[in-house]
């Protein structure tokens, strides 16, 4: 919404949330305190906030006065009941639709921005249509569009400013053109594409599934590299130069995290099984299985290298976010690997450039039941190494690429191990200092 506000000064945008605390965080005078860290976002907000972009908790009023309403709520995987662990929990989408149905006036275009299971637009339509029955005196009408978001965290602003495409799905050409009129202010017309609602919803799930599948593919090859003497970055480079394959999304690592890939594939698997397409479901399911296997095998490798015993050993963890340039830890591989190490009795010294102690506490203690005295939170990257037996590089933050290993060597326990799951350290430098190195996908580990 910030990017729309910036590019369309004549459009008035209100971002509303029933959570007043969240809204006041977005209104914080100090732009360093925004609830989400995203490079470039605070600079845009500085220009547009309280001009044509307002953050408010007056949901009803805002909907009443709007021509277009974007639904951008969370759609996590269902925890209980039918489809638990497999399909999205749509309670917030449904309650948004009900709120819009109650508060809207005149004709309102309702845009699905959240990533949703295919056919959710029908649910929204059904709820909105009920307004005709309930309020027969008021002439309220709705058009429902799907306009999925393809931005990635950490590069959200540039992805929005320069998108590969903008997808608008719908069955009401007038409404679709009204939404197009917004994007045309900064997106070239040939990048704005129209489809029907179901193609649009399915395209979003498909894009994420294909991206995640590429990561599982390269990660499965990383394991083959380790046993054969090949090197995964070289293999990725060689295959990526084939223009049919392309070089992006071929970086091996500890597996994909983030709020979307796993959830979207699970939705695809659920949809396939619902329609009896079991082979299709199994095919996509394997992408998730390889992803968690990758984390398990990294953990087993660490235990094996540290003599099969982690009890009372100190392990430094560099990075807790699911990728660099974000403070988001949802589905972060670091959570699973830290959980397994803690279960082995290790003590963890954790550092991240943007993730707060509070978030790590939520992930490890509140959600996984570990005690607060089993790990430390370190503001200074070098302090994690004090008395450590090993370090695990979990996130590819740039400062981890420039660590002074000689300085580190003087404070760690020997023999000291570096486990590089992101392939960011220089193996020659590490080895020349006599430090043991295990690098993901590196066939020279042995
Ligand atoms: C992903 C998609 O890339 C976006 O297009 C989509 O809009 C978004 O999900 C969404 O549906 O919200 P995001 O999860 O923010 O974006 O971040 P990615 O850059 O895709 O990274 C996801 C995970 O894959 C990270 O853990 C990252 O470290 C990992 N990854 C990515 C790799 O291991 N290797 C790669 O080559 C690329």
Rounded Cα distance, 381 and 362, in Å: 21
**Tens-digit pLDDT profile for residues 327-367:** 999 999 999 999 999 999 999 999 999 999 999 999 999 99
> Does position 96 have pLDDT exceeding 60, yes or no?
yes
How far, in Å, from the CA of 260 to the mean position of ligand 1?
A: 8
Is 8 assigned a catalytic role? no
Mean per-residue pLDDT for 426-445? 94
Task: Please count the other Cβ atoms lying within 10 Å of the Cβ belonging to residue 293.
Answer: 16
For residues 271 and 117, the answer to whether their CB atoms sit within 8 Å is yes
Atom 11 in ligand 1: residue holding the nearest Cα: 260
How far, in Å, from the CA of 312 to the mean position of ligand 1?
A: 35
pTM of the model: 0.95
> What pLDDT does residue 132 have?
67
Using alpha carbons, select from 341, 257, 348 the residue that is nearest to residue 301. Answer: 341
Ligand 1, from 160, 165, 215: best to mutate by most atoms within 8 Å of Cβ? 215
Atom 37 in ligand 1: residue holding the nearest Cα: 249
Rounded Cα distance, 6 and 46, in Å: 10
Atom 30 in ligand 1: residue holding the nearest Cα: 256
Atom 1 in ligand 1: residue holding the nearest Cα: 152
In the set 78, 204, 313, 354, the catalytic residue is 204
Strands across the sheet with 417-420, in order? 375-377, 347-351, 314-318, 390-393, 417-420, 436-439
Phi-psi region of 423 (alpha: psi -120 to 50; beta: other; left: phi over 0): left
Is 149 assigned a catalytic role? yes
Atom 2 in ligand 1: residue holding the nearest Cα: 152
Diameter of the chain measured on Cα atoms: 81
Atom 36 in ligand 1: residue holding the nearest Cα: 249
Locate the ligand 1 atom nearest the alpha carbon of residue 115 and give its number: 11
What percent of the chain shows pLDDT beyond 70?
Answer: 98
> What pLDDT does residue 134 have?
59
Atom 12 in ligand 1: residue holding the nearest Cα: 260
Q: How confident is the model at residue 322 (pLDDT cuts 50, 70, 90)?
A: very high
> What does the angle CA 347 – CA 351 – CA 352 come to, to the nearest 5 degrees?
140
> Which residues form the pocket of ligand 1, taking CB atoms under 6 Å from any ligand atom?
115, 149-153, 208, 211, 215, 249-251, 253, 256-258, 260-261, 322-323
Strand 53-56 with 107-112, pairing: unpaired
Ligand 1, from 261, 266, 332, 422: best to mutate by most atoms within 8 Å of Cβ? 261
As a dihedral over the C-alpha atoms of residue 17, residue 20, residue 24, residue 26, rounded to 10 degrees, the angle is: -20
Mean per-residue pLDDT for 174-196? 98
> Which tokens belong to 261?
């890939």
> Which tokens belong to 55?
């953050």
How far, in Å, from the CA of 100 to the mean position of ligand 1?
A: 31
> Does position 137 have pLDDT exceeding 80, yes or no?
no
How far, in Å, from the CA of 330 to the mean position of ligand 1?
A: 12
For residues 254 and 440, the answer to whether their CB atoms sit within 8 Å is yes
How far, in Å, from the CA of 130 to the mean position of ligand 1?
A: 38
> For residue 99, is the peptide bond before it cis, meaning its omega torsion is within 30 degrees of 0?
no
> Does position 446 have pLDDT exceeding 80, yes or no?
no
Locate the ligand 1 atom nearest the alpha carbon of residue 328 and give its number: 15
How far, in Å, from the CA of 153 to the mean position of ligand 1?
A: 7
Q: What is the DSSP string of 148-164?
A: -----TTSHHHHHHS-S
> Does position 114 have pLDDT exceeding 70, yes or no?
yes
Using alpha carbons, select from 446, 392, 417 the residue that is nearest to residue 253. Answer: 392
In the set 38, 112, 149, 231, the catalytic residue is 149
In the set 96, 260, 338, 353, the catalytic residue is 260
Is 313 assigned a catalytic role? no
Q: How confident is the model at residue 292 (pLDDT cuts 50, 70, 90)?
A: very high
Locate the ligand 1 atom nearest the alpha carbon of residue 248 and give its number: 36
Mean per-residue pLDDT for 200-225? 97
How far, in Å, from the CA of 152 to the mean position of ligand 1?
A: 6
> What pLDDT does residue 130 have?
85
> What pLDDT does residue 165 have?
98
């Amino acid at each position: 919404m910030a990017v729309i506000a910036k590019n369309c000064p004549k459009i008035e945008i209100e971002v509303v949330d029933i959570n007043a605390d969240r809204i006041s965080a977005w209104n914080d005078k100090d732009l360093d305190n925004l609830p989400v860290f995203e490079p470039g976002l605070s600079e845009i907000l500085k220009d547009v906030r309280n001009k044509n972009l307002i953050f408010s908790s007056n949901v009803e009023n805002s909907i009443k006065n709007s021509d277009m309403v974007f639904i951008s709520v969370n759609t996590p995987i269902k925890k209980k009941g039918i489809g638990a662990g497999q399909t999205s929990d749509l309670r917030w989408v449904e309650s948004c639709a009900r709120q819009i149905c109650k508060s809207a006036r005149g004709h309102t275009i309702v845009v699905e921005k959240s990533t949703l299971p295919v056919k959710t637009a029908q649910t929204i339509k059904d709820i909105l249509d009920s307004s005709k029955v309930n309020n027969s005196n008021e002439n309220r009408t709705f058009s429902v569009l799907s306009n999925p978001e393809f931005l990635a965290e950490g590069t959200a602003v540039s992805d929005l400013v320069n998108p590969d495409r903008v997808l608008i799905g719908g069955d009401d050409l007038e409404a679709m053109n009204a939404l197009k009129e917004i994007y045309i202010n900064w997106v070239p017309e040939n990048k704005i594409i129209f489809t029907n609602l179901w193609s649009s919803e399915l395209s979003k799930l498909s894009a994420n599934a294909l991206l995640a599948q590429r990561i599982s593919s390269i990660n499965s090859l990383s394991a083959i590299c380790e046993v054969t003497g090949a090197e995964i970055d070289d293999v990725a480079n060689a295959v990526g130069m084939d223009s049919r394959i392309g070089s992006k999304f071929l970086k091996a690592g500890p597996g994909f995290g983030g709020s979307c890939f796993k959830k979207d594939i699970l939705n695809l698997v659920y949809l396939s099984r619902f329609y009896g397409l079991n082979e299709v479901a199994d095919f996509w399911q394997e992408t998730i299985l390889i992803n968690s296997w990758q984390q398990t095998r990294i953990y087993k490798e660490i235990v094996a290298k540290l003599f099969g015993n982690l009890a009372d050993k100190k392990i430094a963890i560099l990075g807790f976010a699911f990728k660099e340039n974000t403070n988001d830890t949802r589905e972060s591989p670091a959570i699973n690997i830290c959980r397994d190490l803690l279960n082995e009795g290790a003590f963890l010294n954790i550092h991240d450039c943007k993730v707060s102690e509070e978030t790590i506490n939520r992930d490890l203690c509140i959600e996984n039941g570990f005690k607060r005295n089993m790990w430390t939170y370190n503001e200074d990257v070098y302090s994690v190494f004090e008395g450590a037996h090993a370090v695990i590089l979990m996130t590819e933050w740039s400062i981890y690429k420039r660590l002074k290993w000689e300085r580190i060597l003087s404070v760690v326990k020997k023999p000291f191990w570096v486990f590089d799951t992101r392939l960011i350290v220089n193996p020659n430098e590490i080895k020349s200092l006599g430090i043991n190195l295990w690098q993901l996908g590196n066939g020279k580990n042995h």
